[in-house]
Amino acid sequence: MKNKVCLVTGANTGIGLATAKALGEKGARVIVSCRTEDKAEETFEAIRREFPHADLDYALADLSSQREIREMAARLREKYAKLDVLINNAGSWFSTFSRTEDGFERQWAINHLAPFLLTHCLLPLLTQSKDPRVITVSSDSHFHGKIHFDDVNLSQKYHGLRAYAQSKLANVLFTREFDRRKNLPTLSSYAVQPGLVKTDIGLKHTLGWHGFAWKIRRLGGKSPEKGAETSIYLASSAEVKGVSGAYWDNCRQKNPGKNAQSLQDASQLWELSQKMCGIGSYFNQ
Ligand SMILES: NC(=O)c1ccc[n+]([C@@H]2O[C@H](COP(=O)([O-])OP(=O)(O)OC[C@H]3O[C@@H](n4cnc5c(N)ncnc54)[C@H](OP(=O)(O)O)[C@@H]3O)[C@@H](O)[C@H]2O)c1
Per-residue pLDDT band at 284 (split at 50, 70, 90): confident
| pLDDT score at 285 | 73
Q: Please give the Cα distance from 101 to 67 (Å, whole number).
A: 9
Contacts of 71 (CB under 8 A, 6+ apart): 61
Is the CB of 15 within 6 Å of ligand 1? yes
Fold of 5-276: Rossmann fold (3.40.50)
**DSSP 8-state class, residue 205:** B
Residue 126 near residue 134 (C-beta atoms within 8 A): yes
Residue 95 Cβ < 6 Å to ligand 1: no
Residue 159 is predicted with a pLDDT of: 94
Is the CB of 23 inside a 6 Å radius of any atom of ligand 1? no
Domain parsing of the chain, residue ranges: 5-276
pLDDT band at 181 (very low <50, low <70, confident <90, very high): very high
| 200-223 per-position pLDDT tens digit | 998 898 888 888 899 999 999 999
Average pLDDT over every residue of 110-138: 98
Mutate to test the pocket of ligand 1, among 47, 101, 201, 216 (most ligand atoms within 8 A of CB): 201
How many angstroms is it from 185 CA to the middle of ligand 1? 30
pLDDT the model gives residue 212: 87
Average pLDDT, the chain: 97
CB 180 within 8 A of CB 245: yes
Angstrom distance (rounded) from CA 171 to CA 251:
17
Tens digits of residue pLDDT in 126-154: 999 999 999 999 999 999 999 999 999 99
Cβ of 64 below 6 Å from ligand 1: yes
Atom 2 (ligand 1) nearest CA:
197
pLDDT of 278 strictly over 80: yes
Q: What is the pLDDT of residues 49-97, one digit of tens each?
A: 999 999 999 999 999 999 999 999 999 999 999 999 999 999 999 999 9
